Amino acid sequence: MLVVHVSVVLGLLAASGWAQPVPNPPGRGQAGRGGLANPPAAVRSPEVAADHRVTFRLLAPKATEVVLTGEFMDGEKSLQKDDKGLWSVTVGPIDPEIYYYNFTIDGVRTIDPGNPNLKTGSTAGTIASVLEVRGDGPAFYDGQSVPHGEIHTHWYGSKSLNTLRRLTVYTPPGYDRNLQRRYPVLYLFHGANADETAWTRLGHVNLILDNLLAADKMKPFVVVMPFGYGVPPGTPPPAAGGGLGDNTAQFSRDLLEDVIPFIQSQYRVYNDRDHRAIAGLSMGGGEALNIGLNHLELFSYVAGFSAALRAGEFEKGFASLVANPQDTNRKLHLLWIGCGNKDSLFAAAKSFSGFLTEKNIKHTFRESTGAHTWINWRRYLNEFAPLLFR
Amino acid sequence: MLVVHVSVVLGLLAASGWAQPVPNPPGRGQAGRGGLANPPAAVRSPEVAADHRVTFRLLAPKATEVVLTGEFMDGEKSLQKDDKGLWSVTVGPIDPEIYYYNFTIDGVRTIDPGNPNLKTGSTAGTIASVLEVRGDGPAFYDGQSVPHGEIHTHWYGSKSLNTLRRLTVYTPPGYDRNLQRRYPVLYLFHGANADETAWTRLGHVNLILDNLLAADKMKPFVVVMPFGYGVPPGTPPPAAGGGLGDNTAQFSRDLLEDVIPFIQSQYRVYNDRDHRAIAGLSMGGGEALNIGLNHLELFSYVAGFSAALRAGEFEKGFASLVANPQDTNRKLHLLWIGCGNKDSLFAAAKSFSGFLTEKNIKHTFRESTGAHTWINWRRYLNEFAPLLFR
């Protein structure tokens, strides 16, 4: 089998600052630790072949069972052990994309220890290894030779939650040079088990927008990605009630009383509803819809990607939105709902779209294939961003 | 045993945007995924008790051996299995600090899958879980209620290496408001197996400097943290020669021809040697000493933290530095060498200090306790930063 190492190398490089074919072919030089020993030569895993089949490996002579699960396949696959204790399995071909996967070693679900590219988050449940299968050219989410925006990380004291928090901001290329120019702003939220770094690290928001801007497919705007929890991630549910509703209420206070005023004091953004959008994925999609659609005095573009919605609570949760459809439709420049048809939240999204239709609220319902994954969320952003601030 | 959950919760929060005692005690509300099931209730690991003993746990009924290794102890400890397949071990008391540790499960070195706080890098060899043991008050590296600087991430096209790369910049509090003010600049490098995010994620550089500035213990300056590899991380050594030397040469081109001009075009930094410092750790310490001490026309403050140096190559590598000690001592405002006496690079550091002494080059040799760890590098930064630009 013809093996193309460069796919794996590039996946690794994308995670570490190298993002395009580099002039240093493997074998040219050593990036060593000087006097320190390098880590033991790792088994190559994952390895992507020219035909996009992928081989996963683990050296584990003492293990009795190693199983692979991943977003690129249904179910699970067992790895096979050779006489040196090297486990392996080949799957695919796999379409070019970024996928998460796990090894379960003797019953313990963990990462692929040979792969430095990890998905991390705010809780342990979604730790995974990252497989990047590259196509012939760069993907819409890849770093390319175009003008680049900046990513800023701020620490700020949240008065409403009495805590120190972080938020991430994307400024488009040229923001620092056009000092008289003001920009529209998108508030963009991550999902559960993630944090304020998720949209840049996993979502490639900056690269997607850099590429759209270079192709003149969208208007430039600032993106604000706050930490989306109002209560600590992983907090156990209270004995009675509470849950996501309380989280949204707490997060809403931080957003409206702390984040937005902070952004308006630090960035040259417009402060009117016509230049303000709100969107999020999963838990953050529920937050964006609940906060945005109940605050049309603040937001005129609203989106939920695979949003966490509670079917059966729409009448109560969106009473003001549907009270006067004509007024709502006049104010809402865009209401965009996207969900994959294999997503466990698909029924709720479809039900919400039906509710909006029944109430004569104009909206876009984007049914896609796929499940509750970043594959869809990157694509939704790529479709949604060009619709903003037109 | 009295168990204080808050320490573990705070460790988790620090990684995810919560960084100080929060008004939401555990149990107040659920941060759920809406229609999606939460990840399975994780075993609590690590759990820090009031007396700073720490219990590590893993649910693994099918495993036959689970071993703990960590920076807080020498050697390794076996976890013990109960009749439900829950493995555990208690160690300590452990001094308040941030430590890395691993589980080895049936011979496979991996992370603690119950702990979301992970150390990641550019190669797989140093993936680890993070234990944070908190003292009675905030540490010098903790986020506190003081003015905060910003962290910026830039993508830039490196002409010298013909690749797209990232770099990280710290601007001190007030940088965006004092538009007439120019700032000195520190170029700060990570070690092998890491990347341009290491000094902020693992080193807490922004929080350390925020705290020093709030205590009026240092002058404000900009910190530039480039991606420190000149060749791809993990590149195998060539058949003959090469190695770190070639890496430093390639990295030096990127630094001098691309990074410094980029920073000077984007930031209000002074562009003279008196206002420019260069420092790094391990591989990056070798780079800082090699580049800085051979370019005194560009840098006047130079530091190596646990630097990767090759004893026996000093005469050749630093010939121009020692040719005229009087001239060198006049130009060098500070040459600072720090290393822990348990570090495998300690002998090289001591040898380099001896070489400098023999050649009458003024310098500070800071011998500390400890090994080749971030514990020392955070402390060195905290000691070194106040000495700059006085």
Of the partner residues A124, A165, A231, the one whose CB lies closest to the CB of residue B113: A124
Q: What pLDDT score does B124 carry?
A: 86
Q: What pLDDT score does A26 carry?
A: 26
**pLDDT per residue as tens digits for the range B195-210:** 999 999 999 999 999 9
**pLDDT per residue as tens digits for the range A223-280:** 999 999 988 776 655 544 445 558 899 999 999 999 999 999 999 999 999 999 999 9
Which residues of chain B are within 8 Å of residue A30 when distances are taken between CB atoms?
231, 235-238, 242-244, 246-247
Lowest mean pLDDT among A64-78, A246-260, A352-366, B27-41: B27-41
What single-letter amino acid sits at B19? Answer: A
**pLDDT per residue as tens digits for the range A13-40:** 333 333 333 222 222 222 222 223 334 4
- Encoded tokens for A94: 């796999």
**pLDDT per residue as tens digits for the range A319-367:** 999 999 999 999 999 999 999 999 999 999 999 999 999 999 999 999 9
| Sign of the dihedral through C-alpha A145, A149, A155, A160 | negative
- Encoded tokens for A68: 């692979």
- Under an 8 A CB cutoff, do B113 and A109 touch? yes
Q: Measuring CA to CA, which residue among B157, B204, B264 is closest to residue A153?
A: B204
Q: What pLDDT score does A14 carry?
A: 38
Q: How far apart are CA A198 and CA B165, in angstroms?
A: 20
Per the prediction, chain B carries an average pLDDT of: 87
Residue B6 pLDDT > 60, yes or no?
no
- Under an 8 A CB cutoff, do A163 and B22 touch? yes
Q: How far apart are CA B15 and CA A195, in angstroms?
A: 9
- Tell me which of A87, A164, A373 to substitute to probe the interface with B (most B C-beta atoms closer than 10 Å): A164
Can you tell me the mean pLDDT for A110-122? 92
Tell me whether B313 touches chain A (CB under 8 Å): no
Q: How far apart are CA A359 and CA A357, in angstroms?
A: 5
* Chain A nearest CA to B69, separation (Å): 15
- Confidence tier at B245 by pLDDT (50, 70, 90): low
- Under an 8 A CB cutoff, do B196 and A40 touch? no
- Under an 8 A CB cutoff, do A32 and B309 touch? no
- Tell me which of A12, A67, A104, A106 to substitute to probe the interface with B (most B C-beta atoms closer than 10 Å): A106
**pLDDT per residue as tens digits for the range B318-348:** 999 999 999 999 999 999 999 999 999 999 9
Residue B211 pLDDT > 70, yes or no?
yes
Instruction: Kindly give the pairing relationship between strand A163-171 and strand A150-158.
Output: antiparallel
Contact A117, A15 (CB under 8 A): yes
Tell me whether B6 touches chain A (CB under 8 Å): no
ipTM field: 0.87
Per the prediction, chain A carries an average pLDDT of: 87
Instruction: Kindly give the pairing relationship between strand B301-305 and strand B276-281.
Output: parallel
* Residues pairing with B80 in the sheet: B88
Q: What pLDDT score does A126 carry?
A: 86
Contact A229, A253 (CB under 8 A): no
**pLDDT per residue as tens digits for the range B58-104:** 999 999 999 999 999 999 999 999 999 999 999 999 999 999 999 99
| Residue B49 DSSP symbol | B
Q: What percentage of chain A has pLDDT greater than the value 70?
A: 86
Tell me whether A143 touches chain B (CB under 8 Å): yes
* Chain B nearest CA to A330, separation (Å): 30
Q: Measuring CA to CA, which residue among A97, A196, A185, A189 is closest to residue A140?
A: A97
Does the reported pTM lie above 0.90? no
Lowest mean pLDDT among A126-130, B30-34, B109-113, B119-123: B30-34
Q: What pLDDT score does B338 carry?
A: 98
Residues 39-98 of B with CB under 8 A from A: 39-40, 42, 58-65
Can you tell me the mean pLDDT for A73-102? 96
Q: B256 vs B42, which has greater pLDDT?
A: B256
**pLDDT per residue as tens digits for the range B97-155:** 999 999 999 999 999 999 999 999 888 888 999 999 999 999 999 999 999 999 999 99
Tell me whether B211 touches chain A (CB under 8 Å): no
* Residues pairing with A366 in the sheet: A338
Residues 241-270 of A with CB under 8 A from B: 242-244, 246-247, 250, 266
Q: What pLDDT score does A70 carry?
A: 96
Q: B221 vs B40, which has greater pLDDT?
A: B221
**pLDDT per residue as tens digits for the range A152-210:** 999 999 999 999 999 999 999 999 988 899 999 999 999 999 999 999 999 999 999 99
- Confidence tier at B315 by pLDDT (50, 70, 90): very high
- Encoded tokens for B198: 């290491």
